[in-house]
Amino acid sequence: MQFKDERDRAVGEERMAHGNAHEDDAIATLLHYRPTLKLRECVLTSVAGGSARSLFHGSQDAAGVDGSGRRVSVEGKCPYGNREPKAYDGVKDYYVPQMCLHMAVEESEYCFFVSWGPATTRIWTVRHNPLLWQRLEEYIFNLMSFSDASLRPQWVLAAAAQIREDCRRVAAASKELAGSPFVSCYAARTPVAAATATAATVAAAGAADSMRDE
């Protein structure tokens, strides 16, 4: 990750630390409200590109099967924008390529996009889109072929614009789970305990922000 300056670095590292600290909480929340899921922790896995000229690596937060036996992937996000930890209000299109890779690696039918916050968590399902994955694979290969940005032909840039629009459509078509937003769970605590701890967590974050702004 690149940073503009030391302040930017500090904020970026703070966000990453927050995400790493609560990844398990995002998975715990998903499993609490969808107990029929059978998930496993994932390590780095690979998938050969459809053109047989590329190899992609992915490390998703979890994968497994749902209650109907369908293969699923899980991508958990713990937003910390402006030092305000709270769930996203929708699936972000810039995470769609990441989920496409996860689903290609696992041959999943869909991916759970879990956006965790200290108080509430929102969960969506994003369907696998083989055509979009094919376009992404081709685009990534072309980027590697033209590593010098000044030499990239116009058709590569046009492909990027089309992919971004496709990602927006996939994000917009995602389905939020019935009952979402949910009371957030913590990996070592129950939803009730998490709920009672939330007010103190949010108040502390607000106090810290006030001190930084003074």
CB 89 within 8 A of CB 56: no
Task: Take residue 60 and report the two structure tokens written for it.
Answer: 């998703």
What pLDDT was estimated at residue 82? 66
Longest dimension (CA), the chain: 57
What pLDDT was estimated at residue 140? 81
Q: Which amino acid is at 37?
A: L
What pLDDT was estimated at residue 191? 46
- Structural domains of the chain ordered from first start: 6-198 (3.90.320)
* Mean pLDDT, all residues of the chain: 79
The closest of 87, 50, 42, 75 to 202, measured between CA atoms, is: 87
The closest of 202, 47, 39, 26 to 134, measured between CA atoms, is: 47
Write down the pTM of the prediction: 0.77
pLDDT in tens, the chain (214 residues): 444 455 666 666 777 787 778 899 999 999 999 999 999 988 766 665 555 455 666 678 899 999 999 999 999 999 987 667 899 999 999 999 999 999 988 899 999 999 999 999 999 999 999 999 988 988 887 777 777 777 777 887 788 889 999 999 999 999 999 999 999 999 876 444 444 344 433 333 333 333 333 3
The angle subtended at Cα 197 by Cα 191 and Cα 202, nearest 5°, is: 120
What pLDDT was estimated at residue 15? 75
